[in-house]
Structure formats: C-alpha cells, structure tokens
C-alpha cells in the first residue's frame, strides 16, 4: 500500500533557534495526522498501538495487519519527554516516531534549512534571552517524483509570507549573478554562512572543524561546498 504525503495543514512549524536578526524553524507532523493516515491506508481495524517501558524509557509499537498472511508487522521507537507533560509527551513522541518508521511523514527529512528573517520588533529580549511569539504555519507544500519537498511556503498569523522556496531560489540566483559580476568566484553570501553556523551550533559541530576540512573560511565556500556541508549537517 502507498502511504500518502502530509498535507500542509498536517504539518507543524516549531521554533528551533533564535539569533539577533532572525530564527530557524523545523517542520513536525501532528500525531492526529499519523492516526488519520493509518486509518486511511490500513483501515481502523488494520493497525494497533501499544506502549511499554524498557529500561525506564517509554517505547511505542505500531502494528500493521498484513491481510494476505494474517500476521502483524511491528514498528517500534522510543519517545522523548516534553517540557510540559512528561508522560503524555513521551507517549505522543514515541507514537509519531514509530509511525515515521512505517513511512508516515518521512518526507519532512527532505525539508530545506528554514531561516526566518526577523521583522522589526519581532524578537523580544527577556532575562538576556531572545524570544519569538509569532505563530507560523505551512501554507503550501508540494513534492517531486521522488517524494522530496519541492515547494514550501510558510506564513505567519497575519498571512505574511515568511519563507518561500521560490523566493529563496530567486534570491540565490540573483546573488550568484551579483557574485559573478563582481568576480568573487561565486562565493556564498553571508546569510548562507550564517545558516551553516546556526545549524552547526544546533548539531554541536565546531565551525573550525568545518573550515579546517575545506581549508577556507565559511564566506569563501562555493555554492556546491555550501550545499554539501548543509546536507552533511542535516543528516547528523
């Protein structure tokens, strides 16, 4: 059976890291979307779930009924507790992870690095900590023939477009032309260097290790080197 891709309204946008000039976000799926897709694909009597503690960690097993052999196929994963409700957070997370093992929402792993440029006054500082209270949602999403995300648009609660793959591609091409005209060897722009720094910080990778490996500063990376490093960091 083919498991369909997630719809825009089934995807959550969550804050990951905040800088002085903007913030990056990640895409997550909703547990209700997992249940909905399981029902659609296998029928309400074609799947089941159970939770169990293993070495103090809460695991979820999602079982799919193979109607040809009348046997259950099991997929299991462990959950991570949430900040608000420990047990409920672990149960929900382990369920969503187990569903990912089945194939639901796996396309989210192909999402690009999403950097949201801050609007004036959007980042609030409190106790020396940056905070963002903007509500974001996925307004458009499309996939290519391989199932990878090809189009992505994110809006805020005021319906302002805050991220768009089409806009980013246009900006990248414009910058490449500018770099070429300036004879800079098509070095990546500062914002791309910042993307590497932000993701490296999240993944706990030292910038010096990345730069030493290439023998150059981030701002000297070519677009191809930038793409290679970002792919490596996202896979960690």
Res 231: pLDDT: 80
Rounded distance between C-alpha atoms, residue 52 and residue 12, angstroms:
27
Q: How many CB atoms lie within 10 A of CB 1?
A: 8
pLDDT band for 179, please (50, 70, 90 cuts): low
pLDDT of residue 168: 63
Mean pLDDT of the region 128-142: 94
Mean pLDDT of 74-82: 84
Question: Is it the case that residue 187 has pLDDT exceeding 60?
Answer: no
pLDDT at 40 over 90: yes
**pLDDT-wise least confident of 24-28, 45-49, 74-78, 203-207:** 203-207
| Average pLDDT score over residue span 21-35 | 93
Please give the pLDDT value at position 9: 95
DSSP letter for each residue of 43-88: -TTSEEEEEEEETTEEEEEEEEEETTTTEEEEEEEE----SS-HHH
Residue 114 Cα distances to 10, 79, 152, 195, angstroms: 18, 25, 10, 9
Q: Sort strands 47-54 and 57-66 into parallel, antiparallel or unpaired.
A: antiparallel
- Paired with 13 in beta bridges are 27
Distance from C-alpha of 86 to C-alpha of 90, rounded to nearest angstrom: 6
Domain ranges of the chain: 8-165, 166-234
pLDDT of residue 83: 44
CA atoms within 13 A on the CB side of 176: 9
SS3 of residue 30 by DSSP: coil
Instruction: Kindly report the average pLDDT of the chain as a whole number.
Output: 86
Asked if 29 contacts 125 with a C-beta cutoff of 8 angstroms, the reply is no
């Amino acid at each position: 059976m083919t498991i369909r891709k997630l719809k825009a309204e089934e995807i959550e946008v969550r804050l990951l890291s905040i800088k002085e000039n903007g913030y990056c976000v990640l895409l997550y799926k909703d547990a209700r979307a997992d249940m909905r897709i399981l029902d659609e694909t296998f029928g309400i009597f074609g799947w089941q779930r159970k939770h169990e503690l293993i070495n103090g960690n809460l695991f979820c097993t999602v079982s799919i009924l193979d109607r040809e052999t009348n046997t259950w196929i099991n997929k299991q994963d462990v959950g991570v507790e949430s900040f608000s409700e420990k047990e409920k957070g672990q149960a929900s997370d382990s369920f969503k992870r187990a569903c990912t093992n089945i194939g639901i929402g796996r396309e989210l792993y192909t999402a690009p690095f999403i950097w949201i440029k801050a609007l004036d006054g959007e980042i609030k500082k409190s106790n020396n900590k940056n905070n963002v209270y903007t509500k974001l949602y996925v307004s458009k999403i499309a996939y290519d023939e391989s199932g990878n995300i090809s189009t992505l648009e994110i809006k805020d609660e005021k319906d302002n477009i805050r991220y768009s793959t089409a806009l980013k591609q246009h900006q990248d091409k414009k910058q490449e032309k500018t770099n070429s005209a300036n004879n800079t060897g098509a070095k990546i722009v500062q914002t791309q260097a910042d993307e590497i720094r932000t993701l490296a910080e999240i993944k706990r990778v030292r910038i010096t290790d990345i730069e030493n490996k290439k023998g150059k500063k981030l701002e000297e990376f070519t677009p191809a080197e930038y793409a290679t490093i970002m792919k490596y960091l996202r896979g960690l």
